[in-house]
Chain A
Amino acid sequence: MEDKQNYWSENLRLIFICLVIWFVVSFGCGVLFVEPLNEIRLGGYKLGFWFAQQGSIYTFVALIFWYGKKMNDLDKKYNVEDA
């Protein structure tokens, strides 16, 4: 029972981290901090603009695989992996 609770709380923690990264990248880098980020250039593009157009999508895709890997590790740790 305790294992299930620990598994669930670690799962929630991971989801929370993912949501924070999602918010920071999409809303933070693309909107809130776009002006200071635009002072930096990446391959000729303003960084804030790049985040809004491409960077956030790359991060979201990376986040999917990172979340998948971390959850698989968690499954192994608590012996609840797919058969």
Chain B
Amino acid sequence: MTRHSKLAMFLAPFLIIGGYVLSDLYLEDQANELKLFELKPMGHCDVFNDNCILKSGEFEINVMHQGIVTTVNSTYPLDTATLFLVDTQGEATPYQLGMKDSPYYWKRETPLGELIANKGEKYKLRFIGEIKGGKYIAEFYTQTVK
């Protein structure tokens, strides 16, 4: 082995560690930035009949309404979950959901059932879910089909 190969082998670990430190600093800086992701409905959304899935990449939420309680179930644990009911004038009423057993399930009593109880009724909803500084947002309509 020549002196050049020996020198390169001696320096390589320092460069590898340097690359690791640089990458770590960069990713830590990125993680501190606010991330915003938009969730899109997969097909038709009908929360009254338990058929409303919103998706962004591998993250999915299922929004459902039974009786007087609206529940959100997510594929990753959420830190907070807020549902907004938006009336025909565009006025949004926020409903901060509470954790139900685990951070995968969030629920709260809402008047949504009265607003979409009949077939064909449609209502605009917004959702904001937070995960480790990142925000998942959605604006979508639910329409009762049966």
Contacts and interface: CB of A to CB of B under 8 A. Distances in A.
B12 interface: yes
B15 A60 contact: yes
Contacts of B15: 22, 26, 60
Contacts of A58: none
B2 A60 contact: no
Interface residues of A, number: 20
B2 A71 contact: yes
Given A60-B12, A60-B16, A65 B5 contact: yes
Given A60-B12, A60-B15, A60-B16, A68 B5 contact: yes
Given A22-B15, A56-B19, A60-B12, A31 B26 contact: yes
A72 interface: yes
A1 interface: no
Contacts, number: 48
B27 interface: yes
A27 interface: yes
A64 B23 contact: no
Contacts of A52: 23
Contacts of B3: 82
A26 B8 contact: no
Interface in A24-65: 26-27, 30-31, 52, 56-57, 60-61, 63-65
23 contacts: A22-B15, A23-B19, A27-B19, A27-B22, A27-B23, A30-B19, A31-B23, A31-B27, A56-B19, A57-B16, A60-B12, A63-B8, A64-B5, A64-B9, A64-B12, A67-B4, A67-B5, A68-B1, A68-B2, A68-B8, A71-B2, A82-B2, A82-B3
